[in-house]
Amino acid sequence: MSLQRQENSQSLIKTLVVLFISLVAISFFLNLTSSYFQVKYWKARSNMPKIRQIPPFSFVRSDGVTITANDLKGKIWVADLIYTHCPGPCSTETLRMSQLQSILGKIEGVRLVSISIDPEEDSGAVLRKYAEGYHADPSFWFFVTGKPQEVQDFVVKGLALGMGENPKDKVQAEGKFFHSTQFVLIDQDGFIRKYYDGLNQKTPRDISIDILLLLQESSKTNKGT
């Protein structure tokens, strides 16, 4: 091998070594940066302050069983507002809850609660039929209602969501009621931790992630006591 070819070969080897080291360094940097942003993301994600504590309530499930705040104590639950003859967003909300039920797979210690804001129309039988249309598991996903004023007080003062009756000229087009389409995440101690857009396709995924974070938070708390 000539001297020139030997030098060229050595130069190529050096170049390849430098390139390899550079690639390793870049890969390490990218992994480090990715890890940093992942940690930052999960820290931000797990920052769910206790917004407010819900007041006591007493509603009736579609199966006729009375359910109170004490019955849900120790459980993480997600609440939304619907009424079965709603011509607007209720069907989309209920679809999102159905998707959430599928994702969660009936995790113990978690419940879904859909609150009918029209108790005069939504009897137990009506709510059961509505729930069956979305394959709701009655042991996991509750459809509840109560006395009109009690429902409104809980929704407005407890969950801090808007609702009310539509003017007569809007009933045909928009339904009997207007109401918030927000989903509410409530922790084991009855504190509201987060609100979500109940019409957004990403909401079931986002809520399921936050529920797992709350379960992890609870597990760490219990280990520390």
Annotated binding site for Cu cation: 86, 90, 179
Residue 143, SS3 per DSSP: strand
Binding residues: 86, 90, 179
In whole angstroms, what is the distance from residue 43 CA to residue 34 CA?
14
User: Exposure string (b/e) for 146-156, b if CB count within 10 Å is 16 or more?
Assistant: beeeebbebbe
Say if CB 171 and CB 141 are below 8 A apart.
Answer: no
Which residues, other chains included, contact 158 with Cβ-Cβ below 8 Å and sequence gap of 6+? Answer: 54, 55, 57
Tokens at 183, concatenated? 């989903």
Residue listed under structure tokens 């499930």: 61
In whole angstroms, what is the distance from residue 135 CA to residue 98 CA?
7
Neighbours of 182 (CB within 10 A): 20
